[in-house]
Structure 1
Amino acid sequence: MLLQIENLSLSFAGDDGPIPVLRGVSLNVDRGELVGLVGESGSGKSTTVRAALRLYGEEAELGGSVRIDGQEMLGADPATLRRVRADDTALVQQDPRAALNPVRRVGDSLTERLIRVHGRPRAEAHDTVRELLTAVGLTHPERRMRQYPHEMSGGMLQRVVIAGALSTHPSLIFADEATSALDVTTQAEVIAIVQRQIRERGLGVLFITHDLHLAAAICDRVHVLKHGEIVESLAGDRLFADATHPYTRSLISAAPTMTRGSAA
């Protein structure tokens, strides 16, 4: 199992005692799986990822267990945390522009991690990035590597960020609202890239989204998060048909749908 989260809790110190944020979150992601985590804004989706990767400081009190490819994260020393974050996992966030240095060329941003963190020779890192840019659907990769982020569209930049995430051959990817800022056509293209990489590389992906229709269409399983607690877990293709929890049903009823004449 690539990701095993068991009874994960998170709280922060408050004036009147600990403030609970996550309450007993449990979920798994295995190789070749795309698992969804859905809920409204503020439900704790991104917080779950940050807690799993131990990205909060000492002000956070964590409980339970998080194992990434067998490595327990909650009790890991700093060196182990750095290794797991650098080698075994990758995080793709919603805003690709925030993930790239605006004053550096795209190629420099992508190769730097391979050279400085993983010790790859510069020429090898360059070749790896060029091949990955092609794999995620960008034409003229050499030209793209010489461009700055502002010279690319949002869809192109999201492909760049995915290429960067894949460059270190992680086994597990956290996709945090990675397609929500894209138009529908670009979103479909990016999702297809992710699905192809899952098939070809045997990746596991935890896909965080507020879009229930998207989660139902692409995820093997979907976990519904409310106020830091998973209230329902369902097969993706049965999300709309089998949901019984009132919160899940409320999310489904609030999800926009296309009806005849709605575009008039």
Structure 2
Amino acid sequence: MLLDIENLTLDYESPTGRTRILTEVSLHVDQGETVGLVGESGSGKSSTARAGLRLLDANARITGTIRIDGTNITAADPKTLRTVRSHQVGIIHQDPRASLNPVRRIGDSLTERLVHVHGVSRQQARSTGLELLDAVGINRPEQRMKQFPHELSGGMLQRVVIAAALSARPRLLVADEATSALDVTTQAEVLAILRAVQDERPLGMLFITHDLHLAAAFCDRVYVMYRGQVLEERRGEDLFAGAEHDYTRTLLDAAPTLPRPKEPTR
């Protein structure tokens, strides 16, 4: 099991008291599986992902158990955490412009992890970067390596972020609203890239989204969150037809749909 979270509870402490963010959250992601995490804004989706990687502020307090590829993250020391994050996990954030340094060239963003963390030579890192840009559908990759983020469109930058996340060949990919800022056509292209990568290697994916239709179509299983708790788990194909919890059904009923065309009058 690549990601195994059991009874995860997250609190933030402040001078005015303690605030509960997550309450006994349990979920898992297996090898080769795409698992969706859905819910309204503020339900705890991104907090679950950040807590799962121990990417938390100093005033955060967690209980429960988190394992990534067998390593107990909850009790891990800083060195072990860095190793797991840099070798086992890739993260795709919602806003690619916020993920890339605006004063660094695309090539630097793609290669620095390989060079400084994995000890790969700059020549080999550059070659890997070019291969990844080509794999995610970016034309003229050698030219793109020399460009800055502001010179690329949002869709192209998201492809760059995907390439960067895949550069170290992670076993677990966390996609946090990775397609929400993209138009429908670009979204479909990005999802096709992720699916192709997953078919190529045994990659597990935690796919965080507020788009219920997308989760149902793209994910093998889906967890529904509300106010920091997991309320229901369904297979993606059964999400709309088989939801049992009242909140899940309310959330599904609120999902926008296209009206059926009227029958032609005779």
Q: Which residue of 2 aligns with 1:235?
A: 235
Q: Displaced runs of 4+ in structure 1, greater than 2 A?
A: 14-18
Q: 2:37 aligns to what?
A: 37
State the alpha-carbon separation in 2 of the partners of residues 259 and 229 from structure 1: 33
Determine the C-alpha separation between the residues in 2 that align with 1:257 and 1:172: 32
Q: Distance in 2 between matches of 1:221 and 1:59?
A: 32
Question: 1:123 corresponds to which residue?
Answer: 123
SS, match of residue 239 in structure 1: helix
Give, as a single letter, the amino acid of the residue that structure 2 aligns with 1:83.
T
Correspondence for 1:145: 145
SS at match of 2:178: coil
Give the Cα separation in 2 of the matches to 1:15 and 1:250.
37
Instruction: State the partner residue of 2:184.
Output: 184
Aligned to 1:89: 89
Could you tell me whether the CA contact under 8 Å between 2:130 and 2:142 is conserved in 1?
yes
Which secondary structure state, in structure 2, belongs to the residue aligned with residue 186 of structure 1?
helix
Q: Which residue number in structure 2 is paired with residue 258 of structure 1? A: 258
Question: Any stretches of 5+ residues in structure 2 without a counterpart?
Answer: none
SS in 1 for 2:169: coil
Report what 1:161 is aligned to: 161
Partner Cα separation in structure 2 for residue 152 and residue 18 of structure 1: 43
- Does the Cα contact within 8 Å between 2:37 and 2:206 map onto a contact in 1? yes
2:92–2:178 CA contact under 8 A, matched in 1: yes
Deviation at 1:260, TM superposition (A): 3.9
Cα distance between partner residues in 2 of 1:192 and 1:27 = 25
The answer for the alignment partner of 1:63 in structure 2 is: 63
The equivalent of 1:26 in structure 2 is 26
Q: Which runs of 5+ in 1 are unaligned?
A: none
Q: Give RMSD over aligned pairs.
A: 1.2
Contact 2:14 2:59 in 1 (8 A): no
One-letter amino acid of the structure 2 residue matched with residue 132 of structure 1: L
CA distance in 1 between counterparts of 2:261 and 2:94 reads: 32
Q: Distance in 2 between matches of 1:133 and 1:16?
A: 48
In 2, Cα distance between the equivalents of 1:33 and 1:244?
A: 23
Post-superposition offset of 1:261? 6.2
Identical-pair percentage: 61
Moved more, 15-24 or 65-74: 15-24
The letter of the residue matching 2:236 is G
Partner AA of 2:181 in structure 1: A
Separation in structure 2 between the aligned mates of residue 195 and residue 126 of structure 1, nearest angstrom: 24
Letter of the 2:24 partner, please give it: G
Paired AA for residue 235 in structure 1: R
- 1:108: Cα distance to partner? 1.3
TM-score, normalising length from structure 1?
0.97
Once the two structures are TM-superposed, the CA of residue 164 in structure 1 deviates from its matched residue by 0.3
1:132 aligned partner = 132
Q: Deviation of residue 18 (structure 1)?
A: 2.5
For this pair of structures, how many residues does the alignment match?
262
Q: Does 1:46 align with 2:46?
A: yes
- The residue type paired with residue 79 of structure 2 is A
Secondary structure of the 1:25 match is strand
AA aligned to 1:89 is V
Q: Which amino acid aligns with 1:177?
A: E
In 2: Cα distance, 1:195 partner to 1:153 partner: 22
Distance in 2 of aligned mates of 1:76 and 1:84: 10
User: SS where residue 250 of structure 1 aligns?
Assistant: helix
Q: Secondary structure of 1:179's match?
A: coil
Cα distance, 1:57 vs. partner?
3.0
**How does the TM-score come out when normalised to structure 2?**
0.96
